[in-house]
Amino acid sequence: MRVSNYLLASILILWFNANSVFAGEKITREEYLNKYRMVAVQDMLSTGVPASITLAQASLESENGNSPLAVDANNHFGIKCHDWTGSKYYHDDDAKQECFRHYTSALESFDDHSKFLRNRPRYAFLFDLPKTDYKAWATGLKQAGYATNPEYAERLIKIIEDNKLYELDKVESMKKIDKLPEFSKSEKNVPSFNEKKTAYNNGIQYTVAQKGDSYDKIAEENGMRAWQLFKYNDLPKNAIIKEGQRIYLKPKKRRPREEFHIIQQGETMYTVSQRYGVKIKFLYKRNLMKAGEPVKLGQKIWLRSKKEV
């Protein structure tokens, strides 16, 4: 059966346009590094794998999250099945249809990468190295056989140095994790990944929950952990997300610009806290109220102390 030249041309145009669209949606390296920098630091603090190494490997192995393996299997480190008992993904690599680990999310991939290095004897010597010695770690990974590319160590080091990822290795505790630098090769403010879906209130970045969202989903989209969202939004771990809900991606502040708020019908101290981007504990303290104490219709809630006004 012959296909007309017109039909064939139409198919080729559609194919080209589709691929052009996908190409235009690719994540840049800067966006990728900004998206997962906090995840890499959290894994470093819990497992000892340098954040710079984790990010450089993820960026290189996943083509900044754009590779088929990353897109289709959430596998950002090219880790093959080995003794894996979970879901599997088959992909052409050094050989045809090799078996790779298939993860439910990118965060699961990052966590498994750290555990993979930590629990395998051939990588044990790496953990005797200072976590700030990214060059030794990169060279050690190559020596241990993580990748077959003879320039693997040099490529990791270049990504780390070009983007100053070594700054992340200096973080010593979770208390400093909210102040991590964002990465940009230029002096201009480069939007971080997913910024189109966010806005600012009281100088704090937030997003609005959409239909089908969950705390885990929003956290992953912004390179965070769900526990951070609960903490930043004064929420219990069993909180149920609601469509249209404002979700702060950074910690709320001690005070807003406004002086006070008059309680309207249906409002609570929590809704006031979310409306103005103020930590709820400061609102209770500022108004000489006990935590959890209900508010009354028409009640005047001080957002700033009299000294601050």
- For the segment 204-228, the average pLDDT, to the nearest whole number, is 89
- For the segment 225-231, the average pLDDT, to the nearest whole number, is 93
Asked if residue 9 has pLDDT above 80, the reply is no
- As a whole-number percent, the residues of the chain with pLDDT over 70 amount to 82
Task: List the single range of 6-10, 30-34, 111-115, 261-265 with lowest mean pLDDT.
Answer: 6-10
pLDDT at 51: 95
pLDDT at 3: 43
Contact 32, 162 (CB under 8 A): no
> Domain segments of the chain: what residues?
26-78+106-175, 195-248, 260-302
Residues 18-69 have pLDDT tens digits of 443 334 468 899 999 988 988 898 889 889 999 999 999 999 999 999 998 9
What are the DSSP E strand ranges found in the chain?
88-91, 98-101, 198-201, 204-208, 246-248, 260-262, 300-302
- For the segment 182-205, the average pLDDT, to the nearest whole number, is 58
**Closest by CA position to 233, among listed 249, 222, 212:** 249
User: Which tokens go with 33?
Assistant: 């590094």
Q: Cβ-count burial of 219 within 10 angstroms (0-12 exposed, 13-18 middle, 19+ buried)?
A: buried
Domain spanning 195-248, CATH architecture? Roll (3.10)
**Closest by CA position to 114, among listed 35, 47, 36, 38:** 47
How far apart (Å, rounded) are the C-alpha atoms in residues 193 and 39? Answer: 14
β-pairing verdict for 198-201 and 204-208: antiparallel
User: Which tokens go with 4?
Assistant: 């007309």
Asked if residue 191 has pLDDT above 60, the reply is no
- For the segment 258-283, the average pLDDT, to the nearest whole number, is 90
**Closest by CA position to 160, among listed 244, 59, 76, 81:** 59
Sign, Cα dihedral of 150, 154, 158, 159:
positive
Residues 82-129 have pLDDT tens digits of 888 888 888 776 677 889 999 888 888 999 999 999 989 999 999 999
Express the helix, strand and coil content of the chain in percent, nearest 5 each.
45, 10, 45
**Closest by CA position to 114, among listed 33, 45, 34, 165:** 45
User: Which tokens go with 191?
Assistant: 């939007």
How far apart (Å, rounded) are the C-alpha atoms in residues 127 and 49? Answer: 8
pLDDT tier at 181 (50, 70, 90 boundaries)? low
- For the segment 131-156, the average pLDDT, to the nearest whole number, is 94
Task: Judge whether 195-248 and 260-302 match in fold.
Answer: yes
Asked if residue 199 has pLDDT above 60, the reply is yes
pLDDT at 188: 37
Asked if residue 241 has pLDDT above 70, the reply is yes
Asked if residue 196 has pLDDT above 50, the reply is no
Task: Please name the helix (run of DSSP H) or strand (run of DSSP E) that holds residue 162, with its range, or none.
Answer: helix 152-162
The CA-CA-CA angle for residues 34, 221, 245, to 5°, reads 125
CATH superfamily of this structure's domain 260-302: LysM domain (3.10.350.10)
The CA-CA-CA angle for residues 214, 53, 57, to 5°, reads 70
Pick one of 1.10.530.10, 1.25.40.10, 2.60.40.420, 3.30.2350.10 as the CATH number of 26-78+106-175.
1.10.530.10
Specify the 3-state DSSP secondary structure of 260: strand
- For the segment 298-302, the average pLDDT, to the nearest whole number, is 92
